[in-house]
Chain A
C-alpha cells in the first residue's frame, strides 16, 4: 500500500533531475535553491550546530550530484535528498558527541557555554526583541530538549514536527517501518515533554 502510494506520487522535480543527469548544472542549481533552506534546517536541528549544518548541506548536495546517475526515481527527489541529509547530519552528530565526551575529561579546556544552542543559533531577524525574550527562552529550551534526544528519536521528531513530513515519507526517508516511525515519534515527544516540564515547570 505504501509502495502504491509512492508510485502514484508525481515528483515535481523530475524534469530538473533528468536535466541534471544530462549534466545540466543550472537545473541542479534550481534544486539547490529549492531545497537548500529545508535541508539546512533539517541538518541544523539534528546536528544542533549552525556551522556544522552548513557543511552537512554542502556535503549532501555534492553527494546527491555525484549519486544522481544512480537515482532511479523510486522515491521523490526531495525524499532521497532528505535521506542523504539526515544520514550525514546523524553521522556528524555522532562524531561531535564522541569528541565532546572525550573533551569532558580535559581540565584545560575553556569552559563551554552552558547552552551551546545560544551560540549556534543564527541571529534573529525578528524586530521586537523585548517581546520575544520569553518566547526565545522557550525556544532555546525546546532546542536543548531536542538536542538531548537520541539521534534515532530526534530525526523522527524533526522530520515530523518541524518539517511536517508524513509518516509514510518519514518511513521512506529513514527506511524504517511506519510503525517504528510512530513509536519513535511517541517516545521522542514524551522525552521532550518531560524535558520541557523539568525546564519550565509546566507546559
Chain B
C-alpha cells in the first residue's frame, strides 16, 4: 500500500476500523515510514486530547423543564382529544339530558298553547248549533265536489261538483269560524237570509245536486270556482280529506291487500239519533265479520270507516237502510271478492222546512 493511501487510513486504524488485510499492510508500512508513525502518534494524541474533554453537567432544572414542556404538549394534544372523544362519557349523558329537557319543554309549551288554539279550529258550540241545520249537510256536496275532481270522467258527478260552488259567497258569511271569531254581529244577517229561504241553504244545495244543473248556471259556476275556499263545512271537510288521505295510504300499507284496487264506498246516512246509529252500524259491521277502522265524532255527525267483505256489503247497506235514509256517493263496483273499505257519514235528519 502506498504512503498516500496509508495516511487517510491511519484514523481508521486508530479506531481498529480497518480490514485485517489493511491492518497488515498499514503495520508493515509503519515499520518503514517514520512520517506515518509520527502522523499516527499525533492522531492518537489528538484523539486523547479530545477524549479528555470532561462531560459537562446539564443544568439541574433541565429534566423538569423538559417535562413541563412535554406536559404542555400532552395537554394540548389531550385538550383536542378530550374535545372530540374523551367526553363521550360525560358529553353523551349531558346531551341526552339536554334533549329530554328540550322535549319536555316543547311538550309543555304545546300543551299550554293548545287550548288557545282549539277555539280557532272548532267553532264555539252555540254558534255551531245555530249554523247546524246547514253546516253538516253542506259537507256532503262539498266532499262530492272533491271526489268529482278525482273522477272527472263521470259527467253527472262533474255537474255535482260545480253546483256546490254556487253558494260560496253566501257560505262564506255563514262560516262558523268567521262568525264566531270575527263578526258575531254578522250572524243576524245570516239568520235573516236563512229565514228568507224556505229551507236551509245546505238543503238547497242538496236539491241542486239532485237536479240537473242549467248550462248557464254551470258556466257561472265555473267562473266562481276560483272563489275563496268554502269554510262552512271546514271541520267536516277536513275530516273527510284526512280520511281520503288515509285511504290513499292504506292500499300501500296493505301491499297486495284485498282493498288494493277497490274503491272506497262512501255512504251518507241520515238518521234521527247519530250516536245510536253509530253504535248500531258498529255492531252490524262486527256481525258481518268486518271491522271498524276508525270512528270520528263531530258535534252532530259521525264518520265511520269500516272494512267489510265485498259480499257482505249489500247486507250492511240493508242494515243502513233500516236505520235511516242512505245516499250512496260512489257507485259500487261489481266485486264479490275481497274486502271493501266503506266510509259511512252519519248525519242527523235535516229539520223539515
- Listed in ascending order, the chain A residues whose CB lies under 8 Å from chain B are 23, 25, 28-29, 32-33, 36-37, 40-41, 44-45, 50, 53-54, 57-58, 61-62, 65-66, 121-122, 124-126, 135, 138-139, 142-143, 146, 157, 160-162, 167, 182-183, 185-186, 189-190, 192-193, 196-197, 203
Contact = CB atoms under 8 A, between A and B. Distances in A.
B70 interface: yes
Interface residues of B, number: 34
Contacts of B58: 36-37, 40-41, 53-54, 57
A157 B11 contact: no
B22 to A, nearest CB: 12
B56 A41 contact: yes
Contacts of A186: 8, 10-12
B41 to A, nearest CB: 8
Interface string B32-62: 0000000001110111011111111111001
A62 B63 contact: no
Given A41-B55, A143-B53, A32 B8 contact: no
26 contacts: A23-B74, A25-B70, A28-B70, A29-B63, A32-B63, A36-B58, A50-B56, A54-B62, A57-B62, A58-B65, A61-B66, A62-B70, A62-B73, A65-B73, A122-B57, A142-B49, A167-B17, A182-B11, A186-B8, A189-B43, A189-B46, A189-B47, A192-B49, A196-B46, A203-B42, A203-B45
Question: Which 3 residue pairs are nearest across A and B when measured between Cβ atoms?
Answer: A40-B58, A186-B11, A203-B45
B71 interface: yes
Contacts of B54: 124, 126, 139
A185 B46 CA distance: 12
A24 to B, nearest CB: 10
Contacts of B67: 25, 28-29, 32
A44 B43 contact: no
Contacts of B66: 32, 36, 57-58, 61-62
Contact of B53 (A66, A162, A197, A203): A162
A185 B50 CA distance: 13
Given A41-B56, A142-B52, A189-B46, 8 more contacts: A54-B58, A122-B56, A125-B57, A139-B53, A190-B11, A192-B49, A196-B49, A197-B42
Interface string B1-41: 00000001011100101000000000000000000000001
Interface string B281-320: 0000000000000000000000000000000000000000
B210 to A, nearest CB: 87
B254 to A, nearest CB: 59
B17 A40 contact: no
Nearest to B45: A203
Contacts of B241: none
A142 B55 contact: no
Contacts of B103: none
A182 B9 CA distance: 9
